[in-house]
Structure 1
Amino acid sequence: MDFSFSEDDVLLHDSVRRFAQAELKPVAAEIDASGRSATRHRAGLAELGIFGLNIPEEEGGPGVSAIGLFRAVEAIAEACASTASMVTAHYLATDSILLGADPDLRRTILPRAITGEALGAFALTEPRAGSNPADMRTRAIREGDGYRLTGVKHFISNAGEADFIVVYAITDPSAGHRGISAFVLDKSTPGIEVGPPENTMGIRGGHVFEVALDCFVPAARRIGAEGTGFRTAMKVLDNGRVEVAAQCIGIAQAALDAAVDWAKQREVGGHPIAEFQGLQWMIADMATELDAARLLGYRAAWKRHKGERFSRDSSMAKLFASEAASRIADAALQIHGGYGYTRDMPLERYVRDARIMRIYEGSSEIQRNIIARMVLEER
């Protein structure tokens, strides 16, 4: 593997990080405490072109490399994980359309999504179908020149604020995962009911919702042919897992930086605690894990950019980065001692924000299943 950062990648990362540190970081604690939606940042993010970073130039996007996208998400998460979650949920929705829809539907939806004028939500998970989408109960039954969608989706990021929702539903109950199809619905469609935001432990500004469906959707809003939804969703989740890894690395970087700064400032017995060998070993482990996670993420992003198969790489990156982020955030809090346990400092927020990363876009256990299956097949 031989990857490097292009000049465009570097410029993008620098501009996004400057914005994130100036605009997102100062209000991240307030968003967390109040539970206000991170969509308050939509205008600024849209001005930077953030909402279209995953869209290639031929589809009207900026044509950013997958590594450039990765580093942009990392920079946002380093400042505010809630905002990164909101942005990457939008990418899941637009990736569904980009990877599965015909040209007419792409032209209908993507231009406004790229500019941030329209925010997307990705509705795959259900109360009884989380890790195994083939267990979903949401149905799409033919009705005239379209479909009647009925069912309930759960933990759907952005659904309350979204302008469109990509919904996965069963069109052929006898076909297992081959009977899943995908649709894009305008949020204003009659028969879509969005509940209040869930009261989550972390990522409190990246709102998630329950969505109840009993609505009609025209056949022209189906994403691809009937029965292709599962394949589209799996491709989208490959992308999404790389972006989760980027979020983890952003959170972990913020935690490590806070720990290093504190170790240099905090004195015990007249000496900065950074001089104590035991603490130095903690920082060494944190930095090593962070670099390993980052490199796994870069490898997955590089393969994605090259058009190579990267399912195993994305699962490895997501698994390792999500578990490393929790360890790094916890160690950073430990280095701060009792101060780290207070809400006057961001350490406890980093711990809470990192925790969901081991669950969404496929739990750590699911990632291990995927990795093991692929390694065994390769042998």
Structure 2
Amino acid sequence: MKGIYLDHAASAPLLPEVAEAMLDVMRDGPGNPSSLHAFGRAARARLTDARDRIAAKLNCKPSEIVFTSGGTESDNAAVIGASRALRRRGKTHIVVSAIEHHAVLHAADALEREGFAVTRVLPDSTGYIDPAAVEEALRPETGLVSVMWANNEVGTIQPIHQIGGRLKERGIVFHVDAVQALGAVPIDLQETPAGLVSFSAHKLGGPQGIGALYIAAGTPFESLIHGGSQERKRRAGTENVAAAWGFARAVELAVERMDQKSRRLAALRDRLEALLIGKLGPAGAIVNGRIGSRLPHVTNISFVGADTETLLMALDLEGIAAASGSACSSGSLERSHVLKAMGLPEERLKSAVRFSFGPSNTMEEIETAAEKIATIADRLRNK
């Protein structure tokens, strides 16, 4: 499909190297990794190798990686699975940041209906979560804290190591949603003070429908899916071997290319911002997020005087794909919960658009997109 795709944070195109790797597995023939015959053993070997390769790039034990159906399941399993296990120890209080993905926030809502107490920590106006604010929210009965590594809507990177270090001293389980961070920032799980970390393949050029949850050895956890004994009894269901193999290849490529890719994507992001501010003025195009500490591939811009949904429809007609925020909620007319939590004024809330970049984008595309975006925004403001 022709056009300019600026929505990689929703889903990145499948990398050719990943597609080829998956096809190799699919051509091998049938095989359930839990079967004892030769076909099953071959599938098990592929699955084990995929797990080993991901663990090597993230610096953790292969046994600490659990394959899931994606980031949403990984978040749900971490928040609900750990909280239910911790409840048996008298820990019935959860702390989450107010700018988490809905996979975390709605999981916390569900636990609240079960009787858990939930505290939601607000960010500052740049989407930054202050470690002191997290610490102030803690109680003697706090069992779990969940703060994402980097926000999926504005790109702000959180002080994960500072937050996690304080929680570790108190014996509180720390969950980190690293779905957008993987491949964009260095991740060393041995050096990360978190017991649970969520990942997804399709944000970095891997297949849709598969993710992973890192569960550090000794972390309290209760399985959400019951059935067979797959994934060391932590996630029942026949594993998707081809997807796991593709996920492993995507992780390898993302880690190996991260520095070069990050510099290139940051240049595209900065150029788009500069062009739009130059064309619309600093009051007409306002960048949302923490400028000095954010993901290289994400920018969130408010086009004051225009409406988000109208902007997105007009951009789509011009062949430009963008988003109003998380892809899981962008089909709704509801304003971004992230920007609301940041306390942004209404004129910025209702005119914000997220643009996110990937390896296929070129500087020429950015120049073209900027011209079209500015023209549309200006027309809508003067309508």
For this structure pair, what is the TM-score category when the shorter chain's length is used for normalisation? under 0.3
Query: Relative contact order: is structure 1 or structure 2 higher (C-alpha 8 Å, sep ≥ 6)?
Result: 2
- Report the structure, 1 or 2, having the larger helix content: 1
